[in-house]
Amino acid sequence: MKPGLGDRLPEAPDPPGAVSIGEAIDLFEEAVVFFDAEARIVASNASFLKTFDAIREFVAPGSTWDIFLLEAERHALLDVQVCESLRLAEDLMLEGSIDPPAIEFSTDTRRAFAARLKAISNGGFALVVSETFDHRAEADSDRLAELMTSKVLEACPANLTMSRIGDGQILYRTPAATELLGTSRNMRDHFMHVEERADFITALLPDARVDDMRVTGRRRDGSAFAASLSARLIDYRDEEVVVAEMTDLTDELTMRAELERQKDLAFQSEKMSALGELLASVAHELNNPLSVVIGNAMMLGEEPLDESAMKRVSKLSDAADRCVKIVRTFLSMAREQPLELSPCSLGDLVETAIDAHKSHSENTTPALLVSLSDRLPDVMVDEVQIVQVILNLLNNAEQAMADSAVGDQVRISADLAETKSLVRLTISDNGPGVPKEIHGRIFDPLFTTKSNGKGTGVGLAFCHRVLAAHGGSIQLDKSMGGGARFVLELPVERSGLLR
């Protein structure tokens, strides 16, 4: 039978049916050991034996207080400072002046304990060891977590801000947010439009969250940028705080626009390639019957016919000539005519096209405003075909303005592209412009908005085909609010790249 406190007190046997004192203290979760007036162990409970299992032989009944402390220190169950504090607590208790205060200590497993000495009526004392919450460990853990959070946020590439929802006062921002948004103290300054912040708060309140809301942000220099805003509403120190991330979408939108442009170009090239083959086939099939028509028209023109018949022959001849021109254009679009590339001055190309345009135009020719730099490099192109492209665009602008009675001028300008391997030639007018619904069709072969007899639907398709054959491009500027603007990209002559 395990020794108990009652075994040392025979003069006070337990009443019949009573629970022994030893059995009672075993019920305590706290570790408890009793010492007599000579500081010898009288009894201990199971929790105490378990806590000090490494020195079990030195906590058996009869072992002394000093031996217990020495062995606990030697086996690193209690450190030197704790043992000294316990000895001092025993001295204070024996003096009977005050109850010794609890002594807190931690183990190598980061468990925290409190040891208390209590005097008992037989002149001895009890040692009670209870596990406590380690406030020091908690404080250390909080400081470590705060330090880690601070380091993570300082290194975070996201534009995070914390602000009070009521007045917008900013409580914290990451360095990335400072770089983008500046050092303003109020979140309202991050929005270019005040009403957008109001919409943001309205969207945030119901579910305490907003994801990918499109807004117009304000950079640190005051400029506007397209932004995506995500946020959460949290409770921080008894205040409602908005944790928000504002992402600059400028690069993403630019990339999307470029991808869309490349997609349109690829689609247009595929479409033109397929239609070019068809047009080549049609052109070849038309050549033979057209030769017969033209030959007979010429023969009829030499016959002595009356005036009425001669007019009909003349119309027949004109129609046949027009068909021949269309067939030639078809062949050009189908790349039946090889490119004859040579270095050309862009200014000379534009001047030649303007001269050709003026020689065939009526007195209603719109004003031509040309702005070309002398420092632009030469372009490597087929002079005849590029002049024809520019001439087509000038003719289209003039006819559109004449038919609609809107507009009176055409502007021609050029600059060097960012890659410096292409020259951008821009031809714009202040006429009626191109309706949005046909933006995607204007380069299609045989598509025309002109009245019958005025258009063949091959002009812009021809332009697209020629520019593609040169390794360049032609695009309609869809952002124009009024008028039409076409941007042509022409390859720079190789030696010009070295300038």
Q: Which token pair is 151?
A: 């380091």
For tokens 């944790």, name the residue: 243
Tell me the pLDDT of the chain averaged across its residues.
82
Measure the CA–CA gap between 283 and 334, rounded to whole angstroms.
9
What is d(CA 12, CA 17) in angstroms, rounded to the nearest whole number?
Answer: 14
Rg (CA), the chain: 48
Backbone angles phi, psi at 155, to 5 degrees: -90, -5
Q: What is the dihedral of CA 306, 312, 313, 318, to 10 degrees?
A: 150
The DSSP 8-state label assigned to residue 310 in this structure reads H
What digits encode the pLDDT tens for the residues 160-169? 899 999 889 9
Report which of 448, 245, 434 is spatially closest to residue 329, judged by C-alpha positions: 448
Q: Which residues make Cβ contacts (< 8 Å) with residue 217, sequence separation at least 6?
A: 180, 181, 190, 191, 192, 224, 225, 226, 227, 229, 246, 248
Distance CA 434, CA 448 (A): 12
Share of the chain above pLDDT 70, in %: 80
Residue 194, judged by CB atoms within 10 A of its CB (0-12, 13-18, 19+), counts as exposed
Q: Is the dihedral of CA 22, 24, 28, 32 positive or negative?
A: negative
Give the C-alpha separation, 226 to 224, whole Å: 7
Confidence of residue 429 (pLDDT cuts 50, 70, 90): very high
Cβ atoms within 10 A of the Cβ of 371, count?
Answer: 10
The mean per-residue pLDDT over the stretch 466-481 comes to 85
3-state secondary structure of 245: strand
Which residues are registered as beta bridge partners of 181?
none
- Measured in whole angstroms, how far is the alpha carbon of residue 69 from the centre of its chain? 64
Most confidently predicted of 25-29, 299-303, 343-347, 392-396: 343-347
Averaged over 66-74, what is the pLDDT? Answer: 93
Global pTM reads: 0.43
Digit-coded pLDDT (tens) for 227-271:
999 999 999 888 899 999 999 999 998 898 888 877 876 776 676
Distance (Å) of CA 220 to CA 180, 184, 254: 6, 8, 21
Both structure tokens of 344: 């050309």
What does the pLDDT average to over 382-407? 88
Q: Is the pLDDT of residue 451 over 60?
A: no
Contact 460, 475 (CB under 8 A): no
Mean pLDDT to the nearest integer, 100-116: 78
423 beta partners: 416, 490
Q: Is there a contact between 4 and 22 (Cβ–Cβ < 8 Å)?
A: yes
Average pLDDT for 110-132: 85
Asked whether 177 and 190 are in contact (CB, 8 A), the reply is: no
- What separation in angstroms does the CA of 199 have from each of 162, 191, 213, 467? 18, 11, 10, 47
Nearest to 69 by CA among 129, 140, 134: 129
Chain segment 302-314, per-residue pLDDT in tens: 788 788 888 888 8
Q: Which of 326, 335, 241, 312 is nearest to 283 (CA)?
A: 326
Quickly state the pLDDT bin for 419 (edges 50, 70, 90): confident
pLDDT at residue 312 in the model: 83
What pLDDT sits at residue 295?
81
Are 209 and 232 in contact by the 8 Å Cβ rule? The answer is yes
Task: Residue 293: count other Cβ atoms within 10 Å of its Cβ.
Answer: 17
Higher pLDDT, 401 or 330: 401
Amino acid at 123: G
pLDDT > 60? residue 448: yes
Q: How confident is the model at residue 485 (pLDDT cuts 50, 70, 90)?
A: very high
Q: What domains can be seen in the chain, in order of their start residue?
A: 5-133 (3.30.450.20), 156-248 (3.30.450.20), 250-337 (1.10.287.130), 339-499 (3.30.565.10)
The 8-class DSSP code of residue 169 comes to B
Q: Which amino acid is at 140?
A: D
Cα-Cα-Cα-Cα dihedral of 182, 186, 191, 197, to 10°? 160
Mean pLDDT, residues 318-338 taken together: 67
